[in-house]
Amino acid sequence: MIKAKHTKPTVEQWHKVNQLLDDVVRVGHVNKRYCDCEVCTKLSDYTRKIGLLKNERVEDGRWDQRKINTQRRYERDAIKIANLAGQGYNRTGISKKIGVSVDYVSKRAQEFEIEIQRK
């Protein structure tokens, strides 16, 4: 099987892609991965035409699975944080104990409503 050579788009083509992306942002479809509206379709058709986008869509579930795994990791870390907070550790002690940053501990504590002592 011979792979098609990747051609680099010209400056004018990049400007057109950026204009189409600006239109998509103006419509408000920033976080929608697959949209069938006229503006998004125009962008996907143009990028496919100049060779930036392949014809097939990436719908194999990798990104959804990654999101689920991240949420599970956050939940596991929140359990560890809650256990250590119950033992009387503060944010810096918890961060050293589980090997993450103090900001990460603060975010998980706020997200899962965990009370941490202040010393």
Q: How far lies 108's CA from each of 68, 69, 87, in Å? A: 16, 15, 17
Residues 67-103: tens digit of each pLDDT? 899 999 999 999 999 999 999 999 999 999 999 999 9
Q: Using CA of residue 104, residue 114, residue 86, residue 80, what is the dihedral sign?
A: negative
Q: What pLDDT does 1 receive?
A: 53
How do the domains of the chain map onto residue ranges? 11-50, 62-111
Give the C-alpha separation, 42 to 107, whole Å: 39
